[in-house]
Amino acid sequence: MKKVTIILTGVILMAISAMNVNAQNTDTESAQATATIHQHLSLSKNVDLAFGGIITDTDGGTVAIPANSAGTPNYSGLPAQLAATTAAAKFTANGQDGATFDITLPSTASITNGSHSMTIDNFISSEGTNGVVLSGGSKEFYVGATLNIAAGQAAGQYTGNFNVTVTYE
């Protein structure tokens, strides 16, 4: 019985000393957690894209509005233009000062008059489309495009919408 007690005591002592060794092999360190909340990115339209008054003929043509404040059109293949207001679309992006964002433009859009339609393409931004900087938390930019007028295009008022999207980089 004495032997069993000695052996049992030895086993208990080894188990206790093993627990102490395990306790001595651990360590704890803390790390800091941080987060920065940026102002959300918003977009406002200030001016619509306007191609003005156009007179067509049997050949058709194009009207290109540049992406600038003047919005002076370039006509191709058209016999005459009416004195009407033309303008590049103007937008204002607001967000975190100094942050950069991308502009996504459509590849095409349509404007319609009843069952008649015309295609708009070659969309372009005055600021390009990548890495635009929000200086002072705001950035104005212009969007131009080309209106394609078919030969014998039906007369009338044509309207439609297109989307411009801004995204933080």
Q: Which domains does the chain have, with CATH numbers?
A: 42-168 (2.60.40)
| Structure-model confidence comparison of residues 155 and 20, the more confident one | 155
Determine whether 125 is exposed, middle or buried from the number of CB atoms within 10 Å of its CB (0-12, 13-18, 19+): buried
- Quick one: residue 69, left, alpha or beta (phi over 0 = left, psi -120 to 50 = alpha)? alpha
pTM over cut 0.85: no
CA dihedral 126, 128, 131, 137 (to 10 degrees): 20
Residue 44 has pLDDT above 80, yes or no: yes
Nearest in space to 126 (alpha carbons), one of 143, 138, 147, 139 = 143
Residue 70 has pLDDT above 60, yes or no: yes
Contact between residue 105 and residue 129 where contact means Cβ atoms under 8 Å apart: yes
Q: What are the structure tokens assigned to 102, written together?
A: 């991308």
Percent of the chain with pLDDT over 70: 85
In tens, the pLDDT along 96-148 reads 999 999 999 999 999 999 999 999 999 999 999 999 999 999 999 999 999 99
Q: Measuring CA to CA, which residue among 112, 121, 108 is closest to residue 158?
A: 112
pLDDT tens per residue across span 9-39: 666 666 666 555 555 688 899 999 999 888 8
Q: Is 128 left (phi over 0), alpha (psi -120 to 50) or beta?
A: left
79/168: higher pLDDT: 168
Strand partners, 93: 43, 139
